[in-house]
Structure 1
Amino acid sequence: MTTTEIRKKIAESSESDWFNSVEVTIEYPHIEFSLTLKGFSSIHKFVSQQLAGWEKLENIPSELNSSKQHFNTLKGRLDNFLNSRHLETKGNLENYWRTEKGQIQKNGNYFTYDSSQTEFLTDINNRIPDSTTGAYNYIVKTNTNLADRNNLIGSLLAYEFDLKDNSEITERRKKEKSSISKIKNDLRSQLSESETQLTGHLTKANQDYQKYVNLIDTFKSEKESLFNDWYDGTDENSGVKDKIAELENTYDSLLSLKKPAEYWNNRAKNLRTQGWISFAALIVFVVLVVWSLGELLWKVPEEIYTSFFADDKSAAIRWSIIYITFISFMAFCIKAITKVMFSSFHLARDSEERNTLTYFYLSLLNDSKVEKEDRQLIMQSLFSRADTGLLKDDSGPTMPNDFISKIINK
């Protein structure tokens, strides 16, 4: 298991405080190693680091294989303990932990992968492999057969490594070695404390997360319950469902009448604009007629007036017919433009009324119930044909022969 998985398991446990409070002291006196670790995560991390370090070393002597196997065994036991026991109660955890703690604190001839003795023995194994056993026995304080030359060489090399003589150089080396060991132990202690704090924060974060998830689930359940109670009781609450159905019908009617209402509104604007254009054309045409008549009256030739009193009245009759035709044509144009103008204003007002009637009909649907007969009457008013006023009592221009026929008929 990785350190991240260990933290996650501890965070899921109901006894996370216990996992963060367990403590072990690991001592290997033959290499002057002593370390106190607090927190299951810190212990597991230390064992994992030792195993990883041993696996990276190459050409280690066979005498150190027991150390590598020891940390491999410890890691397996810790993984198995957490996987199988993380949901146990505190009392059961205490009982099972005693065995694991004894294995971790077991005082055997074990080496850490980063100790100076491990490096020394590995170097001896690479240079003088036959002397490795003698050096190893010297470090772990085990009797060895010094009659064997290789064992003797190994013991002497270990002696030189451990203590050459009582010179100042040796004393300085011991002090530096002691200082370095102290720094390493302090660093491990700080790492152990940091690991415990990190695991504690993760546990608290996981608990807070679960707490908020439960609150959200509770809130959701309450709101769903309130909604279901309200919905189930709508049959008894003054026709709520009928009101919803009426609103849906009103919305459907709005969708069906929205386009016609927009059409009537736009048509009203266009017709009003057309009416004002016709009005402007009427003004221009009237001004043109008045100006034309003035020109005819003021600039007509003198012989036209005298021809009315002469014996030959053909010229007078000819000019009279031309003048009457011109006046009739002008009157017809003015009448046509007037009809277009008033028709445009009339249709614009009609479109505005249809647009207003549409929204009035929708408001009736929303506020009250409209009977089928009234609905048909309103729809007939909305979509009935509008009278333009253009063809009613329409007639052509009055020509001179009309006057003659009227006189003959009389």
Structure 2
Amino acid sequence: MITENLELDFKQRLIDLEVEINNPKFNYVNQLKGLDRIEEFLKGELDFWKNIKNKNQYITNYEQHYERLLRELQNFFNNNQRADNNSFKTNWNAINKRINSNITNDSFFILYSKTQAAQFIIDLMQQNQNQGYAAHSFIIDRQVDFREPNHFIGYLKAYDFLGDELKEDIKKETNQKVFNDLLNEIRNKLNDVDNQYKGTTNNLTKSKNDFITKLEEWEKNKTKEVDDYLSKQKGEFTSLFNLYTVKLKLEGPVIHWQNRVKKYKTDGIIWTVLLSIVIISSVGLFIWLMYNPPEAFKSNLFGGDPSALKAVLILAAIISFAVFLIRIFSKMVYSSFHLMRDSEEREQLTMVYLALVKEGKIDPTDRKLVFEALFSRADTGLLGGDSSPTMPGGLTNIIDKLSGK
């Protein structure tokens, strides 16, 4: 149809178009509303006359007339989509006048296909085409030509058709044919409506299925996104939980090593003070003895004086004891500060280990190395060969390795 897929305002104006065809000569009246219905009527008339074989000038003129009207109708549709109301009405009145005219451009009187006369002429043409043409000429403009016998017979039949005696019988027959044609037309229309309904139903079903498919796809994608998100969050939560678990496990050792740092620092200070006291006391005692030696130290040792020997033994004992205390206190000072630094390094290694666990940069082998370093025996610094305190188990290399240096 012409009016499919239009803007609402223009489409409504096309629906409101009206044509009234009135042919009093054959008692024919037809009211048409809507551009589609008008177009359908003109096409029906054109098809009716096109189906006649061996057309005469009347039939050919009918075809040309309806083809011209259909072209004008199409041009009106194409040229008035954006016209204002006044222009639209003016252009429509011009074409409307030509549609409801009973005369063609070549001054041939129009015979509509739904009239009794048209049905009579078509039936007669099916029996004898020359008789049909003659009857058509007689009915339209009363022209006669007796040179052809079939023409004469056609005139007589046309006269009988128009006569009073046969008029009612012919009317009944043609009315029945018109009724049957209208009934068939209604059936065709119902079939068209039914096909449109089925087409619309199929389109709705297809749209519904497409919507369900897209909805299922969307649901599947969203479910995957949610599952991925939950899996990611679960992984992060597990990582944080493991980190927190490790932190809890190592929090006690960290506090322990912090306390050990304080203890060893305090011990180191105490032993340093004691060492200082011993050294100062020893030096002071030695100086005092140098300037105020006891009477025993003035005796002649080689002369066999027992007092001198006793003084020497006492002095040697005092010096030995002082040296012993200085050596012991020195080792205790060294050991305390050595263990303090060892505890500080173990605390620092624990913090580095927690950071690496959080970043996921540690594997089981490295973890084993770290724990061996954290919980290995610490050197006291009291044994021979002890030097400056170092990280247990080569912790410097381990931290560098875990940090990716």
Which structure's relative contact order is higher, taking Cα pairs within 8 Å and 6+ residues apart?
Answer: 1
The question of a shared fold, defined as TM-score above 0.5 by the shorter chain, is answered with no
* Max Rg structure: 2
Q: TM-score by structure 1 length?
A: 0.43
Q: TM-score by structure 2 length?
A: 0.43
